[in-house]
Each structure stands twice: as structure tokens, then as C-alpha cells.
Structure 1
Amino acid sequence: MNYSYFQAIVYANLPFINLFSKKQNTRNKLYKESASFLNFLQYVEQEKEHYPIQLAIPPCYYDILEMPFFQKEMTEFLEKNKENYEKELQYWNEYSKQLNKGISYLLAQNKIEILASAATFSELTNLNTKKGIRKHIDKGRSIIERVFNYKPTGFWFPNGSYTPGLDLHVKNAGFEFSFLKGETIKFSDPLPTEEGTAVVSPHGLMFFPIEESLTTIIQNTQNNRNDIQNEIVSIVNAYNHYRHQGVITLAIELSTFNERRSELNKGMMYVIDEGFIANISPAAYQKQFKEELDQVHLCASCLKNKDASTFIEFGTYYAASSFVEKQWEYIMNTPEFYAHTRVIAQLEKEWILLAGLLSEVNEENKELVENHIQAAEKLLSFLQGSYDVEWLQEREKEVFVLNDAMIQTGSKEIGNKQNSKKKMLILSWEYPPNIVGGLGTHVAGLTNSLAKKGYEVHLITAQNIKLEELDREEQAGLFVYRVKPLNSLEENFIHWIAGLNMRMWEKGMELASSIDFDFIQAHDWLVGAAAISLQKEWNIPLISTIHATEHGRNGGIHTEMQKFIHEKESQLIQESNGVIVCSDYMKEELIRIFQADQNKIYTIPNGIDMSFFYERAYDAISDLPISSEKTVVFAIGRLVKEKGFGTLLEAAKTISMYNQKVCFVLAGVGPMYEEYKNYIERNELQSVVFLIGYLQEDRKKALYERADIVVIPSHYEPFGMVALESLVYAKPTIISNTGGLKAIAEHQKSGIVIEPGDTEQLIQGIDFLLENEKSAEEIGKNGRKLVEQLFGWNRIGDETMRVFDEVAIQHKMKETVQEIGNS
């Protein structure tokens, strides 16, 4: 007997946008369809189904379900119409109005699987830009991941609307499979080898064919279970009797499923029991058959064709949406607009909601469509000059979805407004385990110190998309929030940073709804746009820490990219109420380069955690080819020119000619990695110099302990965290006479000081330490004493708090003077 696999999809374009309408009748349509959805969930939970159902609804609806306003009005609607919705009201109350909990339960019981979709169920075929398409896809996925901690692998094209090329965007967003109209797959190019099987698109996305004939049979209320089971058997018999790769995909609207589920399931149970079909999940089908599936080109497709009159009647709306999308894309590619994060964030919401409405535009919802178009036009005008703050605040309240960092239901309340602790919001693009340079290490030490001293510290940082991290972490007095940049996969770093700032601003505004912050601290220009916008929003002191400058890193400003960064640094310095630098050298640099007000610049050195040190962790580096007889010279840092590692390699080349007992270990990643690697190979130094890439914390500590000498040959170094780490281990350290480094050690007392880029001096310094073991030991001990006295985080925390208090007093005095002047 022939048999086939099958899977079932239930989809619904639940009109969540109706919640924003001021008309009760319009909102009631949402509640009526939500009651139908309640009925569906209750049925799936109570029935002992033989197969799971794949669910496709607008991802934004999941956010709506958690909103108190929706829950309040939904309860009122169900209670008012109790005679019609008694079971639905019972189910609603069973989950205490938290319907996402019910959905989570069905997920855990494998009764449903969630398909991702465009955030507002917009038809992607109506979009015109690559960025716009990815925005709708990524928004939808991120909502599902956040609400359910669930990573969907399947994607549903609303109305089955597809054009060639969309498969690339969906595949790149991390999805493995989708669904299309059966006829589209049947007549793909080349024709599939077997009818009823899934196919693979040119970009590697697997598509299942939707059996429309079966859907038509089920929709016809004149048909009974016998008609349904006969149609299934007919489809199965048309499939290949030997390969058994056919899969019947039933896609049915929610309302039809609720109306016809009795007859449908009777027919389904018969053909399952008789062995005609067996359920298979898309993941299992892919694992079993994907290598055997045909790769084909697919044409444009949709499940329901729209009447031409729709496009004629509402054509101006589609044109307006396209215009807004194009303007949004231009803004996202233009750094000059990045300071307007709040306006851009609201514009993005208006456009995404507008695109969703246009998927089913009609006379009833065209008022909502026009409302979003008008709002978008107003927001675009704001970018040309000043904007109406009161209007924007009111609009943000009216459109309360599409915030990537909505408060999780049941989360522990933090930052109580009545809490007497001073509350600090810190923005930093780096924070462990996401470490690129010394900035992240500094922020980790500072935040821990401030929390221990009684501050309530809230840190917003970037989420490392390569790691599975919590969106929020908490320890005593310290709360860490990791946000995904607006364009998390953006390769252009400037655009990526712009997206990060928008997400930081959104998270900051969300936190401010329950927390009265006393200060904002920004670490470097990378978070400047968000920090400045939040400072203007709340009118509280902004203190920036400038860790390095683009001018200093490059010995001047030479390119357009450097000019852009230089201007952003200048803007942050000018807008800040106070600026912290790590050395007097950096203070002089800011005054000289940016004409900064010296009265608002404070010098506080970087700190070091004295517990950083631990002994004999050699197991962590047992894989490195370093014999116990070798003397180890260790260097670590970002592999960029200004770190001076080229000087170290030249020194290693010379020393290796007369001293075979020394080896050099260079750790780090960066743009110079390949150049340094080629230098080592070209000069046959592979047995002398080990270029080992990025170091995890345990391996870094083990190498500090194993090293005999540490070298920091920087050409430019505002401070030098590596120097402090080295001195904690009492290692004799060679440093360059530049920037903040020269203030850390005294030559031949607590370190060896050389001129930047002077290979001969570096060689002499290494030889001196090798030949004078007692002096080397004494230099290392003196260095550790220096660190203990001056650079412990306890002292750095006290100094930072003093600056915060001083800046706060100055800010208050300035406000008072302005009030007197205005009175």
C-alpha cells in the first residue's frame, strides 16, 4: 500500500493593530478574533491529537497578549458576552489572562510548533529594500525568541506571497524551511522529479508544497469526513509508490479550522489509523530527505490573488508606504541622522505597522492606514529640523508595540522609584564575555566597585550574537542588559553601531518607566548617540569616559571614516557635563585636539582587580609548544599598528640569532594578524615566536604566570590595562614611553621604559632583564606594590563617585541659575 507523510498548519492574520484604534467597535473585532484563538488553544490543549499543529500568526500579537490594556478590555469583552464565550472565558482565567503561558505549555507538550513570520504579517512582496525585508523578518523572529525563549526554524510567508530572492533573506535570517502554493512548486524550473515532495531553493531554503485541493474540500461545509479522507487517499495514490518522500501539507485558516475541526479530525484519524499517512515534523523530514531533494527555481506565488480594484483604490497607500521605506533606508545609511534615535525608532514602528495593515487594507481599516502615513510624514519632517516633543511623547504612548526590550511578564521588579540608592545608567558596547580591548575589562571592574559601594548600577551593553546569553543578568546592586543591535548582522561597523545605539536608547527609555536615574555614564563615542539622547530626555548629568581617541590611534585624521569618528568623539565631549580620562596625557590630548574645557575633565586611572592573580594554572596552556627550559617573553593586545607589535617581532628576530633559550608568545586578534603571521613565516621564526590568537581568561592568566618578561611596545596607549595585569603578577615589564604608560612605571625601578618603535632599546631591555635576574625580580615586586597602592578598584570607585557627586552639584547649580534667569 502507498503511504505519505503529512503536516498541518493553522494560520491567522489576527488584527492586533485594531488595538490602537480609538473606536471601540474596531477594537472589539480584535477581541472577537482573539476569542476564536482562545477557542483554538483550548481545543488543542484538551484534545488528544495524533499530530502537532504548526501555528502562524503575527508575532506582534504575542506582545499584545502581554499588555495590561489588552488584557483588561479582553476580559471585559468576554464577560460581557459570556453566553457566547463561556469556555473561552474559563480558559482565559485559567491562565490568569497570561495567554502566552498557555502557548508556552502547548510548546512544551509538543502540541504546537511556532512558525516565524514578518513582525506584522506584512507581505514581503510589498517591500522594496533589502534592509526593509530583513527588518520585518528579524523583528518577527526576535519577538518569538524573547517571549517564548524559542528559536523557530520555519518561516511563514503571509498569504503565501513570494517572489524569487526572498528565500535568500529568509535563509540568511537563520530559517531552514517554508511553504508555498503546491502549483508553484509543481511547475518550478526544472520540474521536480517527484510530485508532492519538498524542494530546495537556489539559496538552500526548503519549501513544502501546500495541498490546496485538500484545503478546498475542507472549506466546503457540504463535505463530510468521507470526502476529506477520500481526497487524502487520492493525493497519496498520486505520489511515488517506492520512494515515499511525498508530504501532504495542509494549511488552513484559524476560523475554518475551528468550524470544521470535527469533520477534519475524523477524516484524518481514519487515514492515519489505516496507514495512509503518518505525521512528520519539518526538521525530521529535512534530516531524512534533504540531500535527495531537487534544487529548483521558483516563480512568484501567493495563496489568494488580490482583486485589481484593491490596488487601484488604495494605490496611494502602497506608494506612501514605499516612500517611507525608501526614506527609512536612506536614514539608516546616513550617519548624520543617528543623533535622532528617538525619531528614527518611532518612524520605524509606524512604517512596519503600515506595511502590516496594507496586507489586508480595506474600507474598515483605511483610517488606521492613513493615521500611520500621517505620523510617518510628520516624523520625517522632524529630521529636517526641530521636533514637537509633546507630540512624539503622545505618539509613543499610542503606538506601544515593536519595542525589542519589552518588560517580561513575571520579572522581578527592580529600580524601585522609592529606593534611596543613587541610580546609575552605564552604556558600554563592551562587557564580559564580549571583550575586544581593555574597555570591557575596565567597565566590569568599575560597575562591580560602584555596586559594592552602594550605587544601583544598570548597564546596557551589546549582545554577542555568537553566544547564547541571557538578555538580563543580576547580582547585588548590578543589573546587566544585553541588547541586539537594530541591524545585528550588519557588516558595516558604523551602521552596526547606529543600530546598537537605537536599541540602547529603547532599553534606557523602558527602564526609565520604573527607575529615576541620577546619572548617565557613556564609555567612548560608540554609545554617544544613545547617551546624548537620553540625557536630553531626562535632563540629568552625563559623564563620559574617553578611553582613547581616533586622532591618537592614527597620529591624526586622514580618512572620511576617521573624520566621522572624530566628530562623534567631539560631540560626546561637548555634550557631557563631565569627562573622565585615564591619564594626564589623555587630558592634554582632549584639550589640544578638541579644545575641551579643562575644568570638566577629570583624571582617574584604570583599575585592576588584585584577585586577577592566581598561581600555577599551567594546564590551561599545556597545548602550547613551550618547553619548561625556555624563557618566555609575553605580549598581548589588539593586533593593530599602534600597539607596536611589529617592533617586538623585529626584536625577536634579532635575539633569536644569539639566544636560543628565549621564545616569544604574542596573543590577540586584529587586522594585523595575517601580516604578523607572514612575517614570522618569512623569517622562519615559527619555533621562536608563537602567534596564538584570542585568549580566554584562564589561558591569559596562565600565560602571565608562566611568563618571565612582559612587553608592552605601544606607539599610542592612553593608559595600558595590560601593564597593570602584568604588574599584578610581579612580572618585570617593559613599557613604551608614551601616553598613560609612562606614568605607570619608573625606569629600572618598577619597570623598563623604552622609546616607542625603538627596536634596539627593546632588545637592550630584554637582554638586561635576562642577564640580571635579581634586578628583574626586584623590578617585578616594586611594580606589584605600585599597583596595590594606586590602582585597586576600591580606590578607583571612590574617585569615580567623587566625580559623579561634583558633576551633579554643578549640574544643579546651572539649573538653578537658569531658573532664576527665566523668572
Structure 2
Amino acid sequence: MNGSYFQLIVINNIPFMNYFSEDQYKKNEFYEQTVQFINFLFQTEKENSPYTIQLVLPPIYVEMLDNPTLRKEITEFLEKYHCNMELLSYWRQKEQNLLKVLKSLIQENRIELLASPASFSHLSNVSTSTGVHLQIEMGLSIIDDYLDYRPKGFWFPEGYFSPGLDLYLQKEKLTYSFLNSKTIYHSDPLPSDIGIAVESPHHVVFFPVEERLYQIFQETSAKKQVWDKALMEVLESYNHYTNESILSLPIDLGSYVKMREELNKSIRYLCDEGYMVHISPKTYINQFSQGMDHVHLCSSFLDRQRENDMKNKSSQYASLAFLERELHQWRQVTLANEVHRVQKQMEKEWFLLSSLLYQDNWTDKEVSTYLEAADQLSALMKGPIDKEWISLREKVHPILNTTIQINNQKVREIIPTNKKKVLILSWEYPPNIVGGLGTHVVGLTNSLIKNGYEVHLITAQDMKKDAEDVIEKEHLFVYRVKPIYSIEQNFIHWIGGLNLAMWDKAIEIGKKSTFDLVQAHDWLVGAAAISLKDQLNIPLIATIHATEHGRNGGIYTEMQKFIHEKERQLIQSADSLIVCSEYMQNEVMTIFEVEQSKINIIPNGIESLQMEKASIAPLEAFHLDTNKKIIFAMGRMVKEKGFGTLLEAARRLHKIRSDLYFVIAGVGPMYDEYQKFIERNGLSECVRLIGYLQGEQKNAFYAHANIVVIPSSYEPFGIVALESLIFAIPTIVSHTGGLKGIIKNKETGLFMEPNNAESLVENIEYLLGNPTVGKEIGKNGQKLVSQLFSWNRIGEETKRVFDELLVNTKVKESISN
């Protein structure tokens, strides 16, 4: 097939809460739209359509259609206000039983009913897991009870979606859903093409819905030539060579009834000409699931007017959220049998209030009715039960009679504490250490625990072992996850898969533990962190260790552009930022146009170690010539670390001295190139690349080296400098970045010019020729680090930033409410 697939979605967005209104105009509006639904079923039965219609129907409305009183009122409305005798005859012929008609059409595969929240409100605004589960399971239970049918697809009203909701769909065995195409096209990683379905972390398939087509069909003056043109524009924008593009065509039921005949002409023409062909979601998934893109979905791109409307009525929504949280709390305890009836009615008040608020024509009086009833029920939950009052309240709305149970599964046993809880995301953490980031996170977690925080850290698994969850020490929980694309060679895809797995684990543990804030370490975990900020409704603080612009002196390649944009997204989404030096603060402010007030400077730290406790034994395995002086360097084997400059200095010194041994520790992409330089220049006798060092080996080299060199061309902070200074070893650093804030030349260390081998040679010869001065410089450096860069001090600073962010967040929430 060279065209696209298509599926039609008819949405019956009926204001069913109008039926309970005292306003007769609202009731008549409800009756009128029910008549439209009768007409829809009548036309669907009468015409033998070549495609299955995906139908969206509020579950509560399904239950209402079984009400004999409502059926009688619809009959009276048809007789009084409608002159369509054919429709009235059909209504009577079907014994006023639309559920029977709907059930028959579903069995004949002419209609496929989609599940939706029971109250047909926005799940993305539900604040507890209990609330989400109630909405989904109640909706499914109603459909099952009244239609003997279990849907496989789910509809998010108005497209409101937030990351994590697919987990609830997957648990109810719902296999597919629909989202605004803009939402899907901004997923992470980006889809390989437009117009195709994607699979979420929990294996739910999401079909893109073209919002602009929906808007065209909404217009009362919509003409065939207008929507024909729009349909062709969308179809022509798809890549037909992939054979996977699918047009999900949404239309309100009222509009569909009016334009059904003309719309079907357009569909038949496009099918006859090969532009598209109908496919069911089940068939599409069976056909394309193997090669489908796996992505992390962002929050929905929403209508600005609707968002503003919700903000203007925030007090009512806040009351709804308060009632939901109370329900959530009662669901966590075992209740006496007689109290279950009270709880059931409280749930009903919440459902109906949810339904009311997400319609456009409610009044404060109507809202107050539900809130007052909820207050009364809350009192009954704790005290004597007024059975007469409950009986009267139950009769007001004779619906929502289905009973569901929520089984709270244990994620893991976490003993509750009064400590504040921080969720930290870091791709590096022992045993996975690539650079200084992992070392930083170890020191940070330990210092936060000492300063009263409970720390939950999610990181990548040890690639030689299975993923695992462990309690490393009291108040430190470490979760090691396996990236979704664990064998992916493309690093960007691997990182995308890691973010998916991190987010999945965070949602899992978030059901058992409530976090106060989430902290992200660099862009590598940014996608998960941004989503968790919204999903868990907690502030996000990002620690920026380095930038792609700074590493490369600009942005030049497509890869660099991608990383740069991910850094921008994290920085803009974060509520607060931490950087390690004034140099990094200026870099972030300049490159990303960030206000200084958003940035906190907290340097990296170092654990105090004593030189005499570092054994020389770990060095014996390297068979070094102990008669030579050791010049030691350590870091990732990347260009900006300046090891090329160090090797050139070694080449020059080797010509005039034979008593030096240059030892460079670390791994990275430049390792092979540096090794070739050593062999090509005959330096194997005086230069050794020794790869990654374990803790004891690293400390041994620092303790027994004569000089440490940090020749970086770009260094936001330089934790390696702290590690060498704590051992009182004279250290030569590049006059760049954060290193300038640590060293005072010839007092606590020595400066060399970046990328200048001759400058490095001069500094090395100075220290070798003045050993007494070198020792004094080393002691001064050790004193500086001990005073300014202890993790205890840095932990206190970090706690201050965290606490300040939490206070500011609460202030903003109180103002907005």
C-alpha cells in the first residue's frame, strides 16, 4: 500500500450532568444530545458502513441509559419537540433500550467502544493513584456491567495526558489509546517519522490524532471542500514509503450526525483513489508492533483557553483535589462493614463533582451541593452513621452502583520516616564511574543523609549484573535499572532507554513513598526528571556539571545540537539550578540566558584522607620503576581533558631527563589515539596509560606521586584537583574554568596555560628543581581543601538550597490557590 491507514473516532461529549440540574434549559440540552445519539445509532444500523467506528461514550452516561425514568422523559421530549416520526418510531421499536442496540453493534464489529474515565474528566489532574484507579476501573466496570464488553482502547478526554498514566492502562490490559499528534511528535526519543503510532514504556500503543481536523469539523459552517483539502494536506505530509502512517480522524457525534453523508463521500473517494484504507487498532498493532518506536511521552499539548479557564476556577478544583486525597487516605485503612456504604457515597460525590467541573456551564451553587455532602460524609466516616440521611443522598443520583476494589500492591518495604525525601537521578554511580559526576553523587548522597534527608537514587545497573534495588545504608535507597534499549549501540538511543527505565522505576516507588523534590544530574537524565516533576507534582532541581557548548567551544555538529537542546530543556524546566563554580554560573547564564537568581554555586567536595594511610601495595601490580619520580594525571580520555598536551610535554622532557615516569589513569574514546602517540614517539619506557583505577589504587597514586597534573582545556570545577590537594601533593592545573577558583598560583598550586606543552614543561621543571617549595605548596593546598571543600560543609549548603526551594514552592502554591 502506498497510501495511509485511517480510523474514524466519534466522540459523544454529552453534558450528562445537565440531567441532574434544576435548570430546564440545561435538561433540554441533555435531552437534545441524547436524541442525536439515538439518531447516530439509527443511521449506523441502517447503513452498512465499510469501516468500524471507534466510539467514545462517557461511562456514567452508559449507566444512565438504563434508567427507566430517563427513558420515559426522552420519549416525552421526542413527542413534544421532534417531528421526526421515523426517529420516534425507531426509539419505540427498540423498546427505548439504546444499550441493547449498542451492544448489538459492538458484537457485529460495526462499533468499537473505547474506555474512558468514569466521570469523563481529565486524568492528568487527578492527584493520587487511588483517584486514577477509581476513574479507570469504574469506567471499565460500568461498560462491562451494562454492555458485557471489555474495551481494549482508552480515550483521554480532550487529550489530557501526563507521563505515567499508561501504567494504569497497562494494568487494566488496555492496549492502545490516542493523543494529540503534537504530544507524540515531542516524545523522547523522537519518533522516526510523523503519522505513525508509538509504544509507551508500559507497552501501550498511542495513535496520533490530528487536532486541526477536529477543529475543522467542530465549525458549524464546515464545508466539504474545506475538510477535503485539510484531509489531503495531512495525508500528503505522511511518509507513505514506511507503510505505517495512520490517520486518526476525530469528530464530535453531533457534527458527525449532521455531515455523515458528505463525510462518507470524502472517505470513499480517498479509499477508492488509494490515499488511505481502513484498519482497526488491533490489526495495526499486530502488523507493526515488532518495529514500533518505543518512546517516553511528554505531557499533552493543551488548549490555552482551557488551561486559563481552569486557573480562573482554581479554588473549586482545589476542593476537588482535597476530597480526592481524603478518599485516598481512607482507602489505605481497613474500614468496618457499615462504613463502606459511607465511603461508597463519598466516592460518588467525588465522581459527580469531577464530571460537573469539567463541563462548562456549572454554577457555584451546584458545586457547593457536592462539597457540603462530602463534608457530611467525612464526618460520618469518623462518627455515628446517619442512615436516613445517606438513604436520601443515594436517591438523588441513582447511578454509580458498580462496586470496585483497589488492591494496593507493595512496591517494596520502606519504613516511614519524618525525614524529607529527595529523588536523585544520575546515570553514574558506583560501580559505574566514568568521570567526576559519579564521585560527586556519592559524596552528595552521604552528606544529605547526615543533614536529615532520606535519599532515593535511581541509576544505571552494573552492566555485568542484573538490575537490583538495595538499601545501601540507613536512609539511602539505590535502584539500579536496565535501560530499555540496553544493547543499543547508538548512545542517544541508549540514554533515551535509560530515561524510560528510570521514569518507570520512579513511578513504581512513588506509589509507596512521597518525594519532596527530584534532582537531576546533567542532561543525561533530563527527560525522566522533567516528566517526574509533572507526574509527581514536585519541584525539580538540576545540577549542571558541564555544558556541551563549553566542552567544544561552541555547537557545531548535529549531535552537539541535540545535547545542547536537551540541556536547555532541563535548565528551563528546573525550578532551581546548582553549579560547581562561578565560572559555570557565568557559562550557564550566558549560553542559556538564565537569571542569576535561579543559580546556586555549591562546589564539589572531597572526603578527608590521610596520606600516611594510603598503602603503596596497590601500585605493585603496575611494576613501576620506584627510582623514578611519578607525574600522575587522571580523568576521562576525551580531548578537553588535555592529555594530548601532557603527552607532548612528556615527549619533550624525555629528551632531557630519564628520571620521570608519567602515569595517566582513565578510560574514554581518545585512549587508543594516545596509546599510538606513545608508541610512535618511543615513550613506552616513561609513559603508561593504566586505564580505570579502583579507590585504593587511585589513593595510592595520589599519595605517592611527586606531582599531579590537570591539563584540561575545559574544566567546570576539577574534582581531581581536590583529590590531589587533599594528599598535599603539588598540583599543576590549567588556568581555565573552575580550576581558577581553587588554585592560587605558587601558593596552593601552579598554573599552566591551557593547550601549551611548553608552559607545562616549565612548571614541572620548577617543582622538580624546588622540592621544598613544592612541599609547602602541597600543604597549603591541603589546608585550603580541608577548610572549604569538605562534604559536611557542602551538604549543609545543599540542604539550604533544597529547603529554600521547598519553601518557595509552598508559597507559590498558596498564592495560586
Q: How would you bin the TM-score normalised by the shorter chain?
A: 0.5 to 0.7
Greater than 6 Å deviation, 4+ residue runs? 398-401
**Aligned position for 2:292:** 328
Q: Mark the CA change 1:682 to 1:802 in structure 2 (over 3 Å): closer, same or farther.
A: same
Q: How does 1:114-153 map to 2 (within 5 A)?
A: none
Contact kept? 2:544, 2:579, Cα under 8 Å? yes
Could you say which residue in structure 1 is the equivalent of 2:328?
none
Asked if the contact 1:484/1:500 (under 8 Å) is kept, the reply is yes
User: In 1, Cα distance between the equivalents of 2:623 and 2:481?
Assistant: 40
- Partner of residue 693, structure 2: 695
Cα deviation code 1:608-630 (max 9, x no counterpart): 11148563422212122322210
C-alpha distance after superposition, 1:32-63 (max 9, x if no partner): xxxxxxxxxxxxxxxxxxxxxxxxxxxxxxxx
Q: What SS class does the counterpart of residue 481 from structure 1 fall into?
A: strand
| Native 8 Å contact 1:341 1:529 kept in 2 | no
- The answer for the alignment partner of 1:539 in structure 2 is 537
Cα deviation, 1:426-485, whole Å, max 9, x if unaligned, reads: 111111111011000000000011112211111111112223564323311111111111
In the alignment, which residue of structure 2 is the partner of 1:413?
414
Cα RMSD between the aligned structures?
A: 3.5
Report the counterpart of residue 685 of structure 1 in structure 2: 683
AA partner of residue 319 (structure 1): T
Q: C-alpha separation between the residues in 2 aligned to 1:467 and 1:552?
A: 35
2:796: which partner in 1? 798
Residue number in structure 2 paired with 1:636: 634
- 8 Å CA contact 1:544, 1:573 repeated in 2: yes
Native 8 Å contact 2:414 2:513 kept in 1: no
Given that residues 339 and 530 in structure 1 are in contact (C-alpha distance below 8 angstroms), is that contact kept between their aligned partners in structure 2? no
Cα distance in 2 for residues equivalent to 1:445 and 1:400: 41
1:652 corresponds to which of 631, 647, 650: 650
Q: Deviations over 1:533-559 (max 9, x none)?
A: 111122222111000001011111111
- Which residue is equivalent to 1:319? 283
Give the SS at the match of 2:563.
helix
User: Paired residue for 1:441, among 435, 439, 442?
Assistant: 439
Contact 1:583 1:605 in 2 (8 A): yes
User: Structure 1 residue 519: deviation in Å?
Assistant: 1.2
Residue of structure 1 equivalent to 2:580? 582
Contact 1:651 1:762 in 2 (8 A): yes
Query: For each residue in 1:681-737, what CA deviation from the matched residue of structure 2 results, as whole angstroms up to 9, or x when unmatched?
Result: 000000010111111222111111221100000000000110000011110000011
Q: Deviation digits for residues 348-391 of structure 1, max 9, x if unmatched?
A: xxxxxxxxxxxxxxxxxxxxxxxxxxxxxxxxxxxxxxxxxxxx
Normalising by structure 1, we get a TM-score of 0.52
Q: Tell me, yes or no, if the aligned pair for 2:580 and 2:603 is still in contact at 8 Å.
A: yes
Query: Distance in 2 between the 1:745 and 1:526 partners?
Result: 30
Q: Answer yes or no: is the 8 Å Cα contact 2:609–2:727 preserved in 1.
A: no
Whether the 8 Å contact between 1:341 and 1:505 is mirrored in structure 2 is no
- Aligned residue for 2:621, secondary structure, equals coil
1:501 aligns with 2:508: no
**1:757 matched to which residue of 2?**
755
Whether the 8 Å contact between 2:713 and 2:754 is mirrored in structure 1 is yes
Q: Output the CA distance in 1 between the equivalents of 2:510 and 2:641.
A: 40
Could you tell me which residue of structure 2 aligns to residue 706 of structure 1?
704
User: Which structure 1 residue ranges, 5 or more long, are not aligned?
Assistant: 1-67, 70-119, 123-128, 140-313, 343-397
* Deviation readout 1:719-774 (Å, 9 max, x if unpaired): 01100000111100000111101111100000001111111110010000000010
Please name the residue that 1:785 is paired with.
783
- Report the residue type matching 1:763 in the other structure: V
1:807 aligned counterpart, secondary structure:
helix
Partner residue, 1:566: 564
Q: Give the distance between the partners of 1:466 and 1:588, measured in 2 at CA.
A: 40
Deviation at 1:808, TM superposition (A): 1.6
1:224-263 alignment, distance < 5 Å: none
Partner letter of residue 593 of structure 1? Answer: I
Question: Given that residues 467 and 482 in structure 2 are in contact (C-alpha distance below 8 angstroms), is that contact kept between their aligned partners in structure 1?
Answer: no
Contact conserved, 1:341 with 1:533, CA < 8 A, in 2? no
Q: Take 1:643 and 1:473, find their aligned partners in 2: how far apart are those partners? A: 35
SS at match of 2:292: helix
The 1:696/1:516 distance shift into structure 2, 3 A limit, reads: same
**Structure 1 residues 468 and 326: CA distance shift in structure 2, 3 A:** closer
For residues 547 and 814 of structure 2, the distance between their equivalents in structure 1, rounded to whole angstroms, comes to: 34
| Residue number among 648, 666, 669 corresponding to 1:668 in the alignment | 666
1:459 to 451, 457, 460: 457
Alpha-carbon distance between aligned partners in 1 of 2:612 and 2:456, rounded to the nearest angstrom: 30
Letter in 2 for 1:529: A
CA separation of 1:761 and 1:642: change in aligned 2, threshold 3 A = same
SS at match of 1:635: strand
- Offset of residue 566 of structure 1: 0.5
Q: Secondary structure at the match of 2:658?
A: coil
In structure 2, what is the equivalent of residue 732 of structure 1? 730
Give per-residue Cα distances to partners, 1:480-503, cap 9 Å, x unaligned. 111111111111111111111111
1:429 maps to what in 2?
427
Residues 354-393 of structure 1 mapped to structure 2, 5 A cutoff = none
Give the 3 Å change call, closer, same or farther, for CA 608–400 of structure 1 in structure 2.
farther
Query: What is the identity, as a one-letter code, of the residue corresponding to 1:478?
Result: L
* Maintained 8 Å contact 1:487/1:499: yes
Counterpart contact for 1:463–1:483, Cα < 8 Å: yes
Q: Name the SS of the counterpart of 1:551 in structure 2.
A: helix
Looking at structure 1, the residues matched to 761 and 510 of structure 2 have their Cα atoms a distance apart, in angstroms, of 55
Instruction: Structure 2 unaligned segments of length 5 or more: list them.
Output: 1-132, 135-172, 176-190, 193-198, 204-277, 302-403
Q: Which letter does structure 2 place at the counterpart of 1:631?
A: K
Map Cα deviations across residues 155-174 of structure 1 (whole Å, 9 max, x no partner): xxxxxxxxxxxxxxxxxxxx
Aligned to 2:471: 473
Alpha-carbon distance in 1 for matches of 2:423, 2:661: 45
Distance 1:339 1:609, change over 3 A: farther
**Aligned-partner residue type, residue 460 of structure 2:** A
Rounded to whole Å, the distance in 2 between the matches of 1:640 and 1:485 is 24
Q: Distance in 2 between matches of 1:788 and 1:759?
A: 31
Q: Which residue of 1 aligns with 2:335?
A: none
CA gap 1:400/1:743 in 2 versus in 1, 3 angstroms: farther
8 Å Cα contact 1:445/1:793 also seen in 2: yes
What is the CA–CA distance in structure 2 between the aligned matches of 1:481 and 1:466, rounded to whole Å?
A: 16
Map 1:486-497 → 2, pairs under 5 A? 486-497=484-495
The count of corresponding residues between Structure 1 and Structure 2 is 455
Change (3 A) 1:399 1:622: farther
- Quick one: structure 1 residues 659 and 598, their matched pair in 2 at CA, closer, same or farther if it must change by over 3 Å? same
Deviation by residue 1:781-812 (Cα, 9 ceiling, x = unmatched): 00000000000000000000111111122222
Deviations 1:48-97 (Å, cap 9, x if unpaired)? Answer: xxxxxxxxxxxxxxxxxxxx99xxxxxxxxxxxxxxxxxxxxxxxxxxxx
Aligned-partner SS, 1:655: helix
Identity percentage over the alignment? 54
Question: Which residue does the alignment assign to 1:621?
Answer: 619
Deviation at 1:530, TM superposition (A): 0.9
Give the letter aligned to residue 757 of structure 1: N
What is the deviation of 1:508?
1.1
Which deviations, in whole Å up to 9, do the C-alpha atoms of 1:520-577 show, x marking residues without a partner?
A: 1111111111111111122222111000001011111111111111011111111111
State which drifts further: 621-630 or 438-447.
621-630
Query: How far, CA to CA, are the matches of 1:796 and 1:588 in structure 2?
Result: 20
**Residues 508 and 694 (structure 1), Cα distance of their counterparts in 2 relative to 1, 3 Å cut:** same
